[in-house]
C-alpha cells in the first residue's frame, strides 16, 4: 500500500475542500441546467401542443370553411347541371315530340304525295298511252304512206329499169337484126333489086304526098 505524507494528505484535503464546492456547484449546476432543460422542454412541448392545437383548430376551421364552400359550389353546380339536364331533357322531349309530329306530318305528306304521284302517274300513263297510240297510228300511217310511196318509186324504178333494159335490148336487137339483114341482103340483093327498092321507096313517098309543096 501506498503511503502518503501528511503534506500530501493535507494538500489533498485542501484540494478536496476546494474541489468539493466546485463539484457541488457543478452538480448543482448540472441538475439545475437539467431542470431548466426539462422545464424548457416542457414549456416548448406545451407551447408546441398549444400551437399544434391552435393550428389544428385553424386548419380544421379552414378546411371546414373550404369544404363548405366546395360543397356549396358543388351543390350549386350540381343543381345547375341538374337544372340544365332537366332543361335538356325537356328540350329533348320537345324535340322528340316535334320530330314525331314532323314525322307523322311527313308521313302524311308522303302518303298524299304518293297518292298524288300515283294518280298523276296513272293520268300520265293514260295520256302517254293515248299519245303513244296516236303516235303509233300516225307512224303506221306515215310508214304505210312512205311504204306505198317507196313501193311505187321502186315499181317506177323497176319499170324504168325494165324499159331502159328493154330499150337497150331492143336497140341491140334492132342493131343485130339490121346487121344480120345487112349482111344477108347485101350479098343477095342484085342491082335490079336495089333499083326496084329505090323506085318502090320513091312511089311510097309520092303516095304519102312527101313531094307536095309545103
DSSP code, position 117 = H
Q: Rounded distance, CA 46 to CA 6, Å?
A: 57
CB of 154 to another protein, least distance (A): 15
| DSSP structure string for 142-209 | HHHHHHHHHHHHHHHHHHHHHHHHHHHHHHHHHHHHHHHHHHHHHHH--HHHHHHHHHHHHHHHHHHT
Which run of H or of E encompasses 86?
helix 6-188
Greatest Cα pair distance, the chain, in angstroms, is 232
Does residue 117 bind another protein (CB under 8 A)? no
CB of 133 to another protein, least distance (A): 43
Of the two residues 43 and 170, which places its CB atom closer to another protein in the complex? 170
Of the two residues 17 and 186, which places its CB atom closer to another protein in the complex? 186
CB of 157 to another protein, least distance (A): 13
Q: Rounded distance, CA 139 to CA 141, Å?
A: 5
Of the two residues 76 and 169, which places its CB atom closer to another protein in the complex? 169
CB of 193 to another protein, least distance (A): 7
Site for another protein in 11-70 (CB under 8 A): none
Q: Rounded distance, CA 41 to CA 37, Å?
A: 6
CB 201 within 8 A of CB 193: no
Of the two residues 67 and 166, which places its CB atom closer to another protein in the complex? 166
Site for another protein in 153-212 (CB under 8 A): 159, 162-163, 166, 169-170, 173-174, 177-178, 181-182, 185-186, 189, 191, 193-195, 197-202, 204-206, 208, 210-211
Helix, strand, coil shares, percent, the chain, to 5 = 95, 0, 5
Of the two residues 153 and 166, which places its CB atom closer to another protein in the complex? 166
Of the two residues 37 and 163, which places its CB atom closer to another protein in the complex? 163
Interface positions with another protein (CB under 8 A) = 159, 162-163, 166, 169-170, 173-174, 177-178, 181-182, 185-186, 189, 191, 193-195, 197-202, 204-206, 208, 210-211, 213-214
Amino acid at each position: 500500500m501506498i503511503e502518503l505524507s501528511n503534506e500530501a494528505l493535507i494538500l489533498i484535503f485542501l484540494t478536496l475542500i476546494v474541489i468539493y464546492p466546485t463539484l457541488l456547484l457543478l452538480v448543482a449546476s448540472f441538475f439545475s441546467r437539467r431542470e431548466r432543460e426539462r422545464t424548457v422542454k416542457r414549456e416548448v412541448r406545451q407551447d408546441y401542443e398549444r400551437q399544434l392545437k391552435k393550428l389544428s383548430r385553424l386548419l380544421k376551421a379552414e378546411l371546414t370553411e373550404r369544404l363548405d364552400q366546395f360543397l356549396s359550389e358543388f351543390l350549386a353546380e350540381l343543381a345547375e347541371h341538374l337544372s340544365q339536364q332537366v332543361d335538356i331533357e325537356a328540350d329533348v322531349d320537345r324535340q322528340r315530340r316535334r320530330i314525331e309530329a314532323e314525322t307523322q306530318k311527313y308521313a302524311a305528306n308522303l302518303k298524299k304525295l304518293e297518292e298524288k304521284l300515283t294518280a298523276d302517274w296513272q293520268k300520265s300513263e293514260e295520256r302517254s298511252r293515248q299519245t303513244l297510240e296516236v303516235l303509233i297510228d300516225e307512224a303506221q300511217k306515215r310508214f304505210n304512206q312512205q311504204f306505198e310511196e317507196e313501193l311505187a318509186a321502186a315499181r317506177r324504178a323497176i319499170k324504168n329499169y325494165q324499159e331502159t333494159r328493154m330499150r337497150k335490148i331492143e336497140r341491140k336487137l334492132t342493131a343485130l337484126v339490121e346487121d344480120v339483114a345487112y349482111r344477108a341482103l347485101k350479098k343477095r340483093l342484085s342491082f335490079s333489086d336495089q333499083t326496084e327498092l329505090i323506085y318502090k321507096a320513091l312511089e311510097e313517098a309520092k303516095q304519102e304526098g312527101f313531094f307536095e309543096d309545103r
